[in-house]
Structure 1
Amino acid sequence: MNKSQLVEQIRQKQSYLCVGLDPSLEKIPSHLLKEKDPVFAFNKVIIDETLDFAVAYKPNTAFYEALGPSGWESLEKTLEYLPSSVLKIADAKRGDIGNTSTLYAKAFFETLKADAITVAPYMGKDSVAPFLEFEGKWVILLALTSNTGSLDFQLFQDTSGTQLFEEVLKKSQTWGTVDNLMYVVGATRGEKIADVRKIIPDHFLLVPGVGAQGGSLQDVAKYGMNDNVGLLVNSSRGILYASSGVDFGKAARNEAHKLQEEMEQSLQEYGR
C-alpha cells in the first residue's frame, strides 16, 4: 500500500485507526481455545468486526513467536487474511547489520507479505537501509516511544541541547522518503509530538499509547496531524479485550467505532 492509497483509505473511512493484533492465550475468550488455531480464530473475528473502522493492522510478532511454529503459522494466516485495502504492519522491531537486516526484510516483506515493519535505529543507517530497498514497502522507525524506559536514552541531550530522538529524526529522514519511511511516536508524550513535527512535518507517524496507556487522541490530533493527516493511531488491548465472552467481536467493534467517531470529529475539526 502506497501513501496515496493509505490517505485515500483514511479519508474514505474517516479514520486513522490501527488495530494492534496482540493475542494472548491467557486473555482470549475461553471458548476459542477449542479451535484448532485459537489465535487465528480470535484475530479473524477481530478483523471482521473492525474492518469498517480501521485502515491498518499491527500484529506484534512477539505474541506469535512465543508460541513456536504454530504461532508463526497463525501470524502468516492473519497477514494473509487481511485485505489489501489496509496497511499490514509487522511490529517486529528488527534492526541488525546489513546482511541480517536484508534477511529480516525478506522474511516479513516477501514471505509474510507485510506492507511495513517496525525497525530500531540504534545501529544506524546500514542496519535500516536494507529494509528501505524493497519497493512499495514501509519502514517504521522507532523515534520517541511511549514506554517509561524511553526516558533512559531518547531524551538525552548533547552539548548543543539536541535530544537523541531529535537527532534520530534529523539524520534518518535522509535515508528514505515520506513514501517509505514512517516513525513511531508515543501518544503518552503529548506535546512532544509538536517537537517531532517541527523536524518531520510530512512523514506519517504510528502512534501507540492511546487508551490503555493513557495517551490522549485529542492531543495526538492537535500536535501531530498534517495536511495528509499523517497519523496512524494504534489501539490494542482496549479493542481486543473489550469483552472476554462470546460477544467479544461485537464489543471490539463498538470500541473501534468509538475511536473512529472521535477520529472523524478531529478530521472535520482540522479540515482534513
Structure 2
Amino acid sequence: MTRAELFSQIQQKSSFLCVGLDADLAKIPTHLKSEADPIYSFCKEIIEETADYAVAYKPNIAFFEALGPKGWETLQKVLEFIPKDIFTIADAKRGDIGNTSKLYAKAFFEQMNFDSVTVAPYMGADSVTPFLEFENKWVILLALTSNAGSMDFQLIKDENGKPLYQSVLEKSQEWGSPENLMYVVGATRGELIGEVRKLVPDNFFLVPGVGAQGGSLAEVAKYGMNSSCGLLVNSSRGIIYASSERDFAKVARSEAKKLQVEMTSLLEQYL
C-alpha cells in the first residue's frame, strides 16, 4: 500500500485507528473455544465489526507462533479475511543480519503479503535495509516504545546529551523515506512524541498505548499529527477484549466507534 492510499483511507473513514489482533486463546470468549479454529473465529468477528472504523490491523505474530504450525495457517486466514483496502501490519519485531533479514522480509511481504512489518533497529542498517527493498511495503521501526523497560536503553544519552532513540531516528532517515518508513512511538510518552515529530516531520508513527495502557489520544494528536495525519493509533485490549461474552464483537465495534468519533474531531481540528 502506498502512502497516498493509506492517507485516502484515513480521509474516507475519518479515522486513524489500528486494531491490534493480540488473539490470546486464554482470553477469547469461552463459547468460541469449541470452534475448529477458535482464534480465526475470534479475529474474523472482530474484523467484521470494526472494519468500518479501522484503517489498519496489526496481528501480533507471537500469539499465532505460539500455536505452532496451525497458528501460521490461522494467521494466513486472518490476513486474507482483512479487506484489501485496509493496511496490514505484521507485529513481528524482526531484525537480524542482512541475509536473515531478507528472508524475514520475503516471508512477510512475499509469502504472506503483509503491507508492513515491525523491525528492531539494534543491529543497524544491514538488519533494516533488506526490508526496505520491497515496493509499496513498509518498515515500522522501533524508536520510542511505551514499555517499562524502554528506559533501559532508549533514553541513554551520549557524550553530547543526545538520547539513543534520537540517534536511531536520525540515522534511519538515511535508509528509508516517508514513503516506506514508519516509527513506533509510544502514546504514554506525551510530549516526547513532539520531540520525535521534530526530528522526523513527515513519517507516519504507529502509536501503541492508547486505551488499556492509559495513553491520551488528544495528546498524541497534539504532538504527533502532521499535514497528512501521520498517525496510526493502535488499540488492542481496549477493543478486542472489551467483552468476554457472546456479544464481544458488538462491544468491540462500540469501542472502536468511540475512538473513531474522537479521531474525527481531532482530524478536523488539526488538518
Output the TM-score relative to the length of structure 2: 0.99
| Match of residue 238 from structure 1 | 238
Q: For 1:35 and 1:83, how far apart are their aligned partners in 2? A: 23
Instruction: Give the equivalent residue in structure 2 for 1:249.
Output: 249
Q: For residues 40-59 of structure 1, what are the structure 2 equivalents within 5 Å?
A: 40-59=40-59
> What are the superposed Cα offsets for residues 84-134 of structure 1, whole Å, 9 maximum, x if unpaired?
111010000000001100100011001111000000000000000100001
Q: How far apart are the structure 2 equivalents of 1:267 and 1:134?
A: 30
Structure 2 stretches lacking a partner, 5+ long: none
Aligned to 2:169: 169
Question: Aligned partners of 1:44, 1:199: CA distance in 2, in Å?
Answer: 38
Residue matched to 2:112: 112
Letter in 2 for 1:50: T
Provide the C-alpha distance between the structure 1 equivalents of 2:44 and 2:65, rounded to a whole number of angstroms: 18
Q: Which residue of 1 aligns with 2:197?
A: 197
> Following the alignment from structure 1 to structure 2, what is the Cα–Cα distance between the partners of residues 249 and 160?
50
SS in 2 for 1:198: helix
Q: CA deviation at 1:70?
A: 1.0
Encode CA deviations 1:175-224: one digit per residue, 9 max, x unaligned.
Answer: 00100000000001111001001100000000000011111101000000
Q: What residue is the counterpart of 1:208 in the other structure?
A: 208
The offset of 1:46, in angstroms, is 0.3
Gaps of 5+ in 1: none
Q: What is the 5 A alignment of 1:84-233?
A: 84-233=84-233
Corresponding position of 1:33: 33
The residue type equivalent to 1:154 in the other structure is Q
| Structure 1 counterpart of 2:57, one-letter code | Y
Residues in 1 aligned to 2:251 and 2:13: alpha-carbon distance in whole angstroms: 20
Q: Stretches of 4+ moved more than 6 A in 1?
A: none
**Residue 269 of structure 1: CA displacement?**
1.3
1 CA distance for matches of 2:196 and 2:136?
A: 25
Distance 1:124 1:25 in 2: 35
Q: SS at the partner of 2:126?
A: helix
Identity %: 67
Deviation at 1:80, TM superposition (A): 1.0
In the alignment, structure 1 residue 12 sits paired with structure 2 residue 9:
no
Aligned to 1:3: 3
What SS does the aligned partner of 1:174 have?
A: coil
How far did 1:44 drift? 0.3
After TM superposition, give the deviation of residue 27 of structure 1 in Å: 0.7
